[in-house]
Structure 1
Amino acid sequence: MHAIVVGGGITGLAAAHQLLAAGLRVTLLEASDRLGGKLRTGRVAGVQVDLGAESILARRPEAVELARAVGLGEALRPPAVTSAAIWTRGALRPMPQGQVMGVPATAAALTGVLSDAGLAQIARDTELPPLQLGEDVAIGRLVADRMGHEVVDRLVEPLLGGVYAGDAYRISMRSAVPKLFEAAHEHDSLLAAVRSLQRAAPQRPPGEPVFNGIEGGVGTLAEAVARDCRAKGAALETGVSVTGLRRTARGWAAALDDGRSLVADGVVLAVPAAAAARLLAAEAPAAAGELAAIEYASMAIVTLAFRRAELARLPRGSGFLVPAVDGKVIKAATFTSGKWDWAAGADPELFLLRTSVGRYGDEGPLGWEDAELVRAALDDLGEAAGLTAKPVDALVTRWVNGLPQYPVGHAARVARVRSFLSGLPGLRLCGASYDGVGIPACVAGARQAASELLRTLPTGRREEAGE
């Protein structure tokens, strides 16, 4: 039995890996010239670093399990430091503890981040009528109504912006912070909901990290999965676009831009929503219409290398976030050589860091030349952290339409898409556009799509695959 996976990011690679484990013959097709999607490594001043995603949420098991399955278990590394900051009101201030994606459980520890008036507004949450959320709500609007705009602008927005590069006043609470959304349905106030989550949070065993990296960069995960898939007989092709999908008597036929047509029993679409919409336009026009409406944000990462000897002082902690309301160009900085021991050890004479630029609705700087982005990042770093040295190397990596947006109603939209596709046996959809943008969520979605695909195939063909 043969399955085609369209898309060679970590989602598509994880789906291929799962299908191979079930005994299928797999062909993976990737339109670009490389596999890995938003997982990508490169060299800056000779040091290999991540140019895309650079950490894995360790509290979810899926990505860590995949890393171990492809031989990277010994390469998993927790951060050397975990203390982060917010650059706001003219200073780097410690990231407040006791909050869930910026929504606080108390005003304590927020002095300096919020004004006195902003601090006073937090307690107002318990004086308002009980929460009534409905099917979904924008987290920024809800928090602003209950606790004031300062909490959103200086806490929620930079934290959510670091994940989605989005607008907190549009982002779906149900999709982006589902546990808080569920807790808020059970309590009268946001303060009570956050406190209930803190009480219910399982205690991590000593030494168990919240996040993991991988020696050599998280981008090596995609490379390792690809190697493992090839070793198991998968055909992984890059530079090949699927231009159309058509149902056949036995399954599906994929038309390729090189003139070939591949026939398969099943197809997994692990591509961004716009690409999936084009491929589904003929066979599932209603689903295609919904997918075409999903929006994306673009961003850029500016990676810089400095000589340690030329730094007046080394940046401390893992990095900092920047509220959009403060009007800076960068939205975050990660001190790579401080956060990851493996990066520091690769060249002890260098200190590497990276900044990110670009938010939904504020992508003007992405039109600048690379040199302009580097200068802007250096200006902000100088103001925030006192960095005045000149970098010995710099690299700008642009992720055009790289981050899907999850506005209010996103979960309902995804449910409608899957309902439309449920009548098409042998076809499933997965990826960051649907159920979460983090690596574990993408791996989990890939596994679910592969498992569902197998269940939709006729019994005889499942037996051929060894089920």
Structure 2
Amino acid sequence: MARPVVVIGAGIAGLAAAHALQKRGVPVEVIERESAPGGRMRSEHLAGGIVDRGAQFIANTYGNMHALARELGIDNRIEPLHQPRNGVLKNGRIVGSDYERLSDFVRSRDLSLASKLRLPKFFYHIYRHRGLLDFYHLEQAAALDGESAAAYVRRAFGDEVLDYLIEPAFASTFTVLPENLSKAFLLAALKLFLGGFHLQAFHGGNGLLTRTLAEQLPVRLGTEVTRVEPRLHSVMLRLRQDGHEASLEADRVIMAVPGNAVARLCRDLTPPEEAFFAAVRYAASIIVFVMTATTDSDPGLYGVGISRPEGVQLYGLAFENVKAGAVPPGKTLFNCALSEERAAQLMTAADDVIVAAALRELRQLPLRGLDRVEQCAVHRWPALVPQFYPGYHRALARFYARPERSERVFFAGDYLVGPYTEAALTSGLRAAEAIAPST
């Protein structure tokens, strides 16, 4: 019997890679450390509601994800959000905003006239560099990778645009502050967002996609890969399951794990690969889900971004009520992301300590219904999303152009394409293509 290609990790990247290989007749097996598949694209139940523990939304521009959903027969479960507007906390008030068109910027209430008059420069800069700004190939923007988003925006647009447009939007979406984002990433993201970008979700939770994929694949759950040992004609994997050690021989391996875990598992990387994986960074976060017994907590927005000048140690809120079938009638379900600094302080704290800390921060917001909290859930993420920091696009370009490559070990993950689920899925498809090119 032919040795399988083993995919380490049953998140969307690993499952997409395994599915693509299986379609091409390649024997495949997926190994997952956790007790359920899905990774950061997994849905769970909370007090009769459905929470997306990591990836909150998808988008109409996610071409590979929509194609896969059609193939699996679940594209009819993708629905637009009930409320497409976002909000920003400014001077203690939640101000609704919508930035799909230039006219939306002009009408917005969260920026002064002076700041609005500077905003057309964004469109000019995006147009000027449009040939470099491909959100599926962020390495192409390496030439723009010499400055942080914070420094660029402050220099070109001023503090108000940084504090009340860029920071709340990007910190709440990507769990990272603008000084830890590259100007290259900012411009590529803005090009995507301003090009007809609309948020969506799978009815019943975004985990529907990973769950459907896993049902069609051989997935071994609750099994940790402790070592990947490439050999001349195979790859030996060392495993741990239920306290027992085992081994598995694979033809090839796709490492669909966080990029900062690759070098620890596989010590036989090429020098360019070692250099790249040493440069991969992740943002840590703690997400707290809150269910209230009233709809008074629902502000009629899909989310609220929060910047540091407001003095609240949260990056933002996302409301599940905008998703069809996610929240029981008469209730509000939302989540809040603690700031990186606060998350680092509380990462090892008990759940009740984290919930109490989150509620203290939430009480600083003009949010009603917090006296009627029914249930909370805590999700700790030591490595939630990769940081596309200043210099990372250049590191990514060097990685793709590396002259020395591991022959039997391949890589998949959002750190290779972008910090969102479509990027993770795309990386899995590319890893499968590298092993078994489609015809």
Contact in 1 for aligned 2:316/2:336 (Cα 8 Å) = yes
In structure 2, the CA distance between the partners of 1:176 and 1:280, relative to structure 1 (3 Å rule), is farther
Deviation of 1:274 (Å): 2.0
Q: Which of 318, 323, 332 is 2:302 aligned to?
A: 318
Query: Does residue 336 of the first structure (1) align with residue 317 of the second (2)?
Result: no
CA shift at 1:19, angstroms? Answer: 0.6
1:297 to 283, 298, 305: 283
Does the Cα contact within 8 Å between 2:154 and 2:162 map onto a contact in 1? Answer: yes
Distance 1:369 1:165, change over 3 A: same
Q: Which 5+ residue runs of structure 1 have no aligned equivalent?
A: 184-193, 230-234, 456-465
User: Which residue in 1 is equivalent to 2:107?
Assistant: 109
Q: 2:155 matched to 1:172?
A: no
- Between the aligned partners of 2:170 and 2:274, the Cα distance in structure 1 is 28
Residue aligning to 1:139: 149
1:215 aligns with 2:216: no
- Indicate the SS of the match to 1:65: helix
Taking the aligned partners of 1:248 and 1:371, their CA distance within structure 2 comes to 47
The yes-or-no answer on 1:252 pairing with 2:235 is yes
Question: Cα gap change, 1:124/1:226 in structure 2, threshold over 3 Å: closer, same or farther?
Answer: closer
Query: Contact 1:305/1:394 (CA < 8 Å) preserved in 2?
Result: yes
Do the aligned partners of 1:301 and 1:357 also contact (CA within 8 Å) in 2? yes
1:33/1:238 contact within 8 Å kept: yes
> Which residue pairs with 2:406 in the alignment?
424
Counterpart of 1:352, as a letter, is L
* CA positional deviation for 1:38: 0.6
Cα 1:172–1:105 change in 2 (3 A) is farther
3-state SS in 2 of match to 1:343: coil
Quick one: structure 1 residues 165 and 360, their matched pair in 2 at CA, closer, same or farther if it must change by over 3 Å? farther
**Contact in 2 for aligned 1:97/1:109 (Cα 8 Å):** no
**Per the alignment, in what secondary structure is the counterpart of residue 436 of structure 2?**
helix
Structure 2 CA distance for partners of 1:419 and 1:46, relative to 1, 3 Å: same
- 1:262 shift after superposition: 2.3
Any residues of structure 2 matched to 1:185-196 within 5 Å, and which?
none
Shift of 1:285: 4.1
Q: What SS class does the counterpart of residue 108 from structure 1 fall into? A: helix
In the alignment, structure 1 residue 398 sits paired with structure 2 residue 380:
yes
Question: Per-residue deviation at 1:453?
Answer: 1.7
Structure 2: distance between partners of 1:127 and 1:350 = 44
**Structure 1 residues 300 and 411, CA gap change in structure 2 (3 angstroms):** same
Give the stretch that moved more between structures: 65-74 or 429-438.
65-74
Shift in CA distance, 56/289, structure 1 to aligned 2, threshold 3 Å: same
Asked if the contact 1:297–1:360 (Cα under 8 Å) also holds between the matched residues in 2, the reply is no
- Taking the aligned partners of 2:123 and 2:45, their CA distance within structure 1 comes to 51
Q: 1:119 to 1:56 in 2, by over 3 A?
A: closer
Is contact 1:84–1:319 with CA below 8 Å preserved after alignment? yes
CA deviation string 1:133-152 (max 9, x = no partner): 94413222111111112211
Matches within 5 A, 1:312-391: 314-337=298-321, 339-344=322-327, 347-359=328-340, 363-366=344-347, 369-382=350-363, 383-391=365-373
Cα distance change, pair 79–331 in 1 and its aligned pair in 2 (3 A): same
Kindly name which structure, 1 or 2, has the bigger radius of gyration based on alpha carbons. Answer: 1
| Residues in 2 aligned to 1:98 and 1:81: alpha-carbon distance in whole angstroms | 14
Other-structure match for 2:138: none
1:119-177 CA-to-partner distances (Å, cap 9, x unmatched) read 5666899999xx99944132221111111122112111111112321121231232454
Q: Which residue of 2 aligns with 1:80?
A: 82
Alpha-carbon distance, 1:272 to partner: 0.9
For 2:31, what is the secondary structure of its paired residue? strand
Deviations 1:221-279 (A, max 9, x none): 211110022xxxxx311222223333333232223245433222222111111221123
CA displacement, residues 401-450 of structure 1 (integer Å, 9 cap, x when unaligned) = 22211111212212333444753333321101221121111111111111
Deviation at 1:39, TM superposition (A): 1.6
Instruction: Give me the whole-angstrom Cα distance separating, in 2, the residues matched to 1:29 and 1:163.
Output: 29
Using the TM superposition, name which of 248-257 and 157-166 deviates more. 248-257
- The answer for the alignment partner of 1:236 in structure 2 is 219
Contact 2:292/2:369 (CA < 8 Å) preserved in 1? no
2:202 & 2:296 partners in 1: Cα distance?
29
Partners of 1:175 and 1:410 within 8 A in 2:
no
> What whole-Å deviation, never above 9, does each CA across 1:313-368 have from its counterpart, x for those lacking one?
7422223111122121222112212x012124xx2132222222123687435465
Q: Given that residues 260 and 282 in structure 2 are in contact (C-alpha distance below 8 angstroms), is that contact kept between their aligned partners in structure 1?
A: no
**Count of matched residue positions in the alignment of Structure 1 and Structure 2:** 419
* Cα separation, 2, equivalents of 1:115 and 1:367: 41
State the alpha-carbon separation in 1 of the partners of residues 348 and 7 from structure 2: 33
How far apart, CA to CA, are the structure 2 residues paired with 1:363 and 1:105? Answer: 40
SS in 1 for 2:372: coil
1:325–1:366 distance in 2 versus 1, CA, 3 Å = farther
Match of 1:6 in 2: 8
Residue 267 of structure 2 is aligned to residue 284 of structure 1 = no
Q: 1:33 aligns to what SS in structure 2?
A: coil
Output the amino acid matched with 1:31. Answer: R
Give the match's secondary structure for 1:342: coil
Q: Partners in 1 of 2:247 and 2:84 — Cα distance?
A: 50
Match of 2:132 in 1: none
**Aligned partner of residue 74 in structure 1, secondary structure:** helix
Stretches of structure 2 lacking an aligned partner (at least 5 in a row): 130-141
1:156 corresponds to = 166
Give the AA of the match of 2:106: A
CA distance in 1, matches of 2:198, 2:268: 44
Distance (Å, rounded) in 1 between the aligned partners of 2:265 and 2:35: 20
SS in 2 for 1:169: helix
TM-score by length of 2: 0.84
What TM-score comes out, normalization by structure 1 length?
Answer: 0.80
The CA distance in 2 between the partners of 1:245 and 1:126, in whole Å, is 46
